[in-house]
Chain A
Amino acid sequence: MIATGMDRRAPRRATMAVGTVMLAALLAACSGTAASPAPASTPAATTPAASATPAATIAASGDLILATTTSTQDSGLLDVLVPAFEQASACKVKTVAVGSGAALKLGQDGNADVLMVHSPAAEKTFMDGGYGVNRQLLMHNMFEVVGPPADPAGIKGMTSAKDAFTKIADAKSTFVSRGDGSGTEAKELAIWKAAGITPDPAWYIKSGQGMGATLQIASEKKGYTLTDNATWLASKANLDLAPMVDSGDPSLLNIYHVIQVNPDKWPKVNAACAAAFSEYVLSPAGQKVIGGYGVDKYGQQLFVPDAGKVESTLTAP
C-alpha cells in the first residue's frame, strides 16, 4: 500500500497525458475555428455594379439554412452555387441536403429558411398550407431510367417511362426505389400509378437513401432505377449501369423550385437572407452559375436555368 517512487509518478503521468491530449484538442479547436474561413463576403458585396448582384443580397446577413434535395448536392451543383451566393452577400449558408419530403417538413416546422426542392405535388400541399412564400421556378433537368447494361427487361431506347416500367414489372426485373419521400420517389411512384402497376416487393427494393447511394445499390444488384440526370452524370463513372430511357418522354421532366419559408408563420426564419438567396439564384449571375455547371467536367449542362419562364412551356429534349 505504501507508494513506491515509481508508483507515485505513474498517476501523475496519467493525469499529464490526459491533460496534454485534452489541451491539444482545445488548441485544435481554437485553430480549427480560426482556420475554417468565413467566405470573404464583404468586399464583393460593396461592388454591386461589377457583378450585377441584386440589391437585396447586400442588405441581408447571418446564417441561412437551405434545405434541399440530395440531387443538388450529389451532383455537386451546391459546391459552386453556395460559395457564389456567399461571395455576393453577407449570408452564411448551412446546406442540409435531405430528400424533398424531409426538406419540406423542415420548412413546415420553421427549421429551415429557404427550400430548393423538386416535388411539385408535395410543394403544392406545402404552399396551400401557407408555409411558403414566393415559390419560383428555378431550373430543370430530366429524369432517366438507368439499368444494367445487359438490360434483362429489354427497355433500352424506349421513349415512354410508363411503358418501360410496365416491361420491368412484366419481366420482374429488380427495380431500386428511393423509398425516402423524395421528389425523385414521388416522380417514380407517379409513373407506376400511371402504368396502373403496384410493384411487387419480390423485385422492388426501397433503399431509403439519397440518389448517390441508391444508384450504387442499383449498380450492385444489377437493377433499374429512376435518377435525375445530374446525379447520374456526376456518378456514372463509378457505376456499372447504362442509360435506358433518357429522352423523348415529357413525364420525365424534373423541375426545381426555390421557396422561401413563410416568416409570418415562423418569425425566427432569416427572411432577409432567404429572400436574398432566392433573388440571387434567380438573377442572371446565379442562373449563369447554374447553367454553366457541369460543362467543363462532364461536357454538358447538368441543370437548365429557368428563371422567369412559364412552367408549362418547358419541354423535354
Chain B
Amino acid sequence: MSSDLVEITLLSLAVSGAATLISLLIGLPIGTWLALSRFRSRHLVLSVVNTGMALPPVVAGLFIALLLWRSGILGGLGLMYTPGAMVIAEVVIAVPVVTGLTVAGLGQLDPQLHLQLQGLGASRRQTVWWLWREARLPLLAAVMAAFGSVISEVGAAMMVGGNIAHETRVLTTSIVLETGRGEFGNAIVLGLVLLALAFIINGILTWAQQRGPRR
C-alpha cells in the first residue's frame, strides 16, 4: 500500500498542479482583460464565467470524454484514460474559477489606481503588473481556489482517467475504489493524505499572500 500511496499522491499533485498552472496561464489574462475592458455584452460574459464555476466536474469530464473517445473528434490523439486527459478536464473546471475570481479581485481595486498608473506613464504591461501586485491577495485566493477545486474533484478524473492502476489512479479515485470495496480505513487514510497535501500547498500560498504590511 505505501509505495502505491506515494505514486498515487505524486500523480494527484502532478495532475492538479499542472491543471492549476495551465488554468492560471489561461484564466489570469482573460480575467484581467475582462476586468479592464468595457464592451456591450460584458455582463453576459461575466455571468457565463461565473456560471462556469458551478460546472459539475463530472459534466466537464463527460464533455472531454465525448471529445477524446475514439468515436469523438479528438479520438485520434489517443488521450483517453491518460493523465493528460485528466489535466485537460481539470483545466476546464479550473479556468472559470481563476477567471471569475481574477475579475472580482481586480474589480475591487480603486478605479483611480488605473488612471493614476496611466497618468504616470505606465505601459500596458506595467499597468497590468502593478494592478496584479495590488490585487495579490484575491489573486492568490484564486490560485488556492483553483487548486482546491481540482485536487478534490473525482467526477472528471474517474470519467476521463478511468482510475487505472499505476496510470491514472489519483487520491480521489482511489478513495472511491476503496470505499466501493468496503475498505473504509484505507479510504480515510487517503482522504487525510489529500487534506495534508492541500494543507501544505495552501500553507505556502497563504504565507505568500499574508506577508507584507497589514492593510
Cβ contacts B23-66/A at 8 Å (1 or 0 each): 01000000000000000000000000000000000000000000
C-alpha gap A16/B16 in the complex (Å): 19
Separation in Å of the A131 CB from the closest CB of chain B?
12
Q: Is B14 a contact partner of A25 (Cβ separation < 8 A)? A: yes
Query: Does A29 sit at the interface, judged by CB under 8 A?
Result: yes
Q: Is B133 a contact partner of A11 (Cβ separation < 8 A)? A: yes
B135, closest chain A residue (CB): A11
Query: Does A26 sit at the interface, judged by CB under 8 A?
Result: yes
Q: Is A94 a contact partner of B81 (Cβ separation < 8 A)? A: yes
Query: Does B162 sit at the interface, judged by CB under 8 A?
Result: yes
Q: Is A111 a contact partner of B182 (Cβ separation < 8 A)? A: no
Partner of A216, one of B70, B165, B182: B182
Query: Does A150 sit at the interface, judged by CB under 8 A?
Result: no
Which residues of B lie under 8 Å from residue A91 when comparing CB positions?
none
- The majority secondary structure among interface residues of chain B is helix
C-alpha gap A266/B71 in the complex (Å): 9
Query: Does A28 sit at the interface, judged by CB under 8 A?
Result: yes
Interface residues of A in 237-282 (CB under 8 A from B): 237-239, 266, 268-269
Query: Does B121 sit at the interface, judged by CB under 8 A?
Result: no
Query: Does A297 sit at the interface, judged by CB under 8 A?
Result: no
Residues of chain A at interface, number, CB under 8 A: 51
Q: Is A111 a contact partner of B21 (Cβ separation < 8 A)? A: no
Query: Does A48 sit at the interface, judged by CB under 8 A?
Result: no
Which residues of B lie under 8 Å from residue A110 when comparing CB positions?
70-71
Residues of chain B at interface, number, CB under 8 A: 49
Query: Does A312 sit at the interface, judged by CB under 8 A?
Result: no
Q: Which residues does B use to contact A, with CB under 8 Å?
A: 6-7, 10-11, 13-18, 20-21, 24, 69-71, 75-76, 78, 80-81, 83, 113, 116, 132-133, 136, 140, 143, 162, 164-167, 179-184, 201, 204-205, 207-209, 211-213
B113, closest chain A residue (CB): A1
Which residues of B lie under 8 Å from residue A31 when comparing CB positions?
10
Q: Is A21 a contact partner of B17 (Cβ separation < 8 A)? A: yes
Known: A32-B7, A70-B180, A74-B180. 7 other contacts (CB 8 A): A4-B213, A11-B136, A17-B204, A21-B201, A63-B81, A95-B162, A95-B165
Separation in Å of the B136 CB from the closest CB of chain A?
5
C-alpha gap A37/B183 in the complex (Å): 25
Q: Is B13 a contact partner of A212 (Cβ separation < 8 A)? A: no
Partner of B211, one of A13, A21, A25: A13
B132, closest chain A residue (CB): A11
Which residues of B lie under 8 Å from residue A21 when comparing CB positions?
17, 201, 204-205
C-alpha gap A110/B76 in the complex (Å): 12
Separation in Å of the B180 CB from the closest CB of chain A?
4
